[in-house]
Amino acid sequence: MNLIKQLPLGLGLACFMFMSSCSKEEAVTPGSAVTNESSNLRQGGPVFVPIYHFPSTNGPTCVGCMPGKWHLGKTKLDATSSLTAYAGNPSKKWVQPLPTPSTGSGSIVTMVGEKSYYGYVSANAENLIPGKKYKLTFSISRTALNEANGTGPYAATADLHVRDVNSNNIITEKVIDFNGKKNEWVTETIEFIATFHKQEFDFHSENPQGESKLTYTNIHVGENAVQQLN
């Protein structure tokens, strides 16, 4: 302020008005909400933007395509698919179209199992509060392709591991019980206590014993799939 007093009246007034108009940025802590208070939105009050926790599976369909922040284990086989076809390819339709899962609409992630390699895809939950308990809700299905000699094989099993990103240790895991279900969704939840602000979620599928053909296991995650429980 002493410096402003020493300036000519016009320049000092302009400097003072500039300093007054600047506002401090509010820090965003994990688990908090972000508000947008720009001048064109203030009449309607603050706009709350949902905090990102877990990426949805919605995205462009093709082999090797992955929705934002997902990781595919085999980019030459794994894909983002539609409810009617592997990788959205009309020439590779599922033996039966999948219904819309209970977790929402949109595309799905397909992990492909082989004889020697299990299917694998992963994604991270972010902006978590260490020590807090969370629940992720997702849908999973096993499908097959129409092939020249009939219907292709189905995956035998699937599971989900929640890992600590620092130690790579498994925090908790869930084995998926398809209970004989094919070409339909199984909606599952998994609960975990955050050990860090980010946790890794690894999905796996396995072929039946001795099966050499490809199998297809699909995952759907909708918007706001992570819920804080405490």
Q: What is the pLDDT of residue 51?
A: 67
Task: Name the residue range of residue 96's domain.
Answer: 62-228
Cα(213)–Cα(198) distance, integer angstroms:
36
User: Which residues in the chain show pLDDT less than 70?
Assistant: 1-52
End-to-end C-alpha distance for the chain, whole angstroms: 48
CATH number of 211's domain? 2.60.120.260
List for the chain the helix, strand, coil content (%; round to 5): 10, 35, 50
d(CA 140, CA 109): 10
> How many structural domains comprise the chain?
1
- Write down the pLDDT at residue 31: 57
Angstrom distance (rounded) from CA 78 to CA 71: 10
Report pLDDT for 4: 44
Q: Is residue 220 part of a domain?
A: yes
pTM for the complete prediction? Answer: 0.79
In a domain, 139, yes or no: yes
How high is the pLDDT of residue 6? 47
Structure tokens that stand for 66 in this block: 């992955």
Query: Which pLDDT score, from 0 to 100, does residue 88 have?
Result: 97
Model confidence over 28-86: pLDDT tens digits?
455 544 444 333 444 555 554 446 599 999 999 999 999 999 999 999 999 999 999 99
CA distance 181 to 41: 49
Nearest to 159 by CA among 109, 219, 74: 219
Residue 22 lies in a domain: no
Nearest to 122 by CA among 183, 187, 169, 54: 54
Identify whether 27 is part of a domain. no
Residue at 201 is within a domain? yes
The H-or-E segment that residue 20 falls in is: helix 9-21
> Is residue 10 domain-resident?
no
Residue 67 lies inside a defined structural domain of this protein:
yes
3-class secondary structure, 4 = helix
